[in-house]
Amino acid sequence: MNDTYASNTTLKQIAARLNEAQSVLITTHAKPDGDALGAVIALGRALELQGKTVERRVIPPVPPALAGVFNGTKLVTHNGPDAPVGDFDAIVVVDTGAWSQLDAIRPWLETQHEHTIVIDHHLHGDDVGATKFIDATAAAACEIVADLIDEMGVAFDALTCDALFVGIASDTGWFRFSNCSPRTHQLAARLQGAGVDHTALYAATEQGERPQKLQLMVRALDSLRMVAGDRAAVMCLKLKDFAETGARPDETERFVDVPQVVGDVRVVALLVEQAEGPTRVSLRSKPGEGAVDVNALARRFGGGGHARAAGAKIDRPIDEAVEAVVAGIEDSF
| Contact footprint for Mn ion (CB under 5 A) | 35, 95, 141, 171
Residue 166 and residue 43 in contact, taking contact as beta carbons nearer than 8 Å:
no
Of 35 and 162, nearer to Mn ion (C-beta) is 35
Tell me if 233 sits within 8 A of 259, measured CB to CB: yes
Q: Between 172 and 332, whose beta carbon lies closer to Mn ion?
A: 172
Beta 304-305 vs 309-314: how paired, if at all?
antiparallel
Tell me the closest approach of the beta carbon of residue 120 to Mn ion, in angstroms.
8
Task: Tell me how long the chain is.
Answer: 333
Nearer to Mn ion, 64 or 173 (CB): 173
Distances (CA, A) of 238 to 102, 214, 275, 321: 24, 16, 9, 12
Minimum separation from the CB atom of position 121 to Mn ion (A): 6
Closest approach, Cβ 148 to Mn ion, in A, equals 15
Q: Is the peptide bond before 61 cis (omega within 30 degrees of 0)?
A: yes
The least distance separating Mn ion from the CB of residue 62, rounded to whole angstroms, comes to: 15
Do 37 and 28 touch, CB atoms closer than 8 A? yes
Residue with nearest beta carbon to Mn ion? 35
* Cβ nearer to Mn ion, comparing 55 with 95: 95
Supply the angle between the helices 158-171 and 34-48 in degrees, to the nearest 10. Answer: 160
Q: Which is nearer to Mn ion, 303 or 328 (CB)?
A: 303
Question: Considering the complex, what minimum distance in angstroms separates the CB of residue 273 from Mn ion?
Answer: 25
